[in-house]
Amino acid sequence: MAKVVGIGGVFLQFKGEKKEVQNWYNEFMGLDMTEYGTGFYEGEQLVLLSFKRSNENSPFINLRVDDIDAMFKKFVDNSIEIVDDIKRYDYGKFGQFKDPFGNIIELWEPFTDKYIEMVKKEIVQYKKGKL
């Protein structure tokens, strides 16, 4: 049976002028940009596609990072607004910031093995009707 195996694209409507937004995300997040945005072609992809946001202030996107502490230090050093400090869970570290254009972004440094183990258990529970 054919099935979805990942996300091919996420198309957001960020606040701010396109070039300024892309330049900022290139400088502060290390995202290589093209005319169309950024693409991920390295490493593994761990993606959650949520069909409902928890509230209106929830971020529209969560970006995986390799060192959330260093990124947040860079944000603090550059007076970038931290919305939610870094929190640690068994499956990774999360934090939220607001870019200069007012967009709330969540960052995630995953603990890959623990995350995969957790998701597999949640899938089994969901199929059994326990979630």
Query: Does residue 31 sit within a domain?
Result: yes
Q: List, for residues 33-60, the tens digit of each pLDDT value.
A: 777 777 766 667 777 666 567 777 777 7
What CATH number is given to the structural domain containing 41? 3.10.180.10
Look at the chain and report how many structural domains it folds into: 1
In this prediction the pTM is 0.74
Nearest CA to 35 among 47, 44, 26?
26
C-alpha–C-alpha distance, residues 22 and 63, integer Å: 15
Query: Does residue 70 sit within a domain?
Result: yes
Query: Does residue 97 sit within a domain?
Result: yes
Query: Does residue 2 sit within a domain?
Result: no
User: What integer best gives the mean pLDDT of the chain?
Assistant: 82
C-alpha–C-alpha distance, residues 48 and 120, integer Å: 13
Residue range 55-67: mean pLDDT, rounded: 80
State which residues form the domain around 104: 18-49+57-127
Query: Does residue 79 sit within a domain?
Result: yes
Query: Does residue 34 sit within a domain?
Result: yes
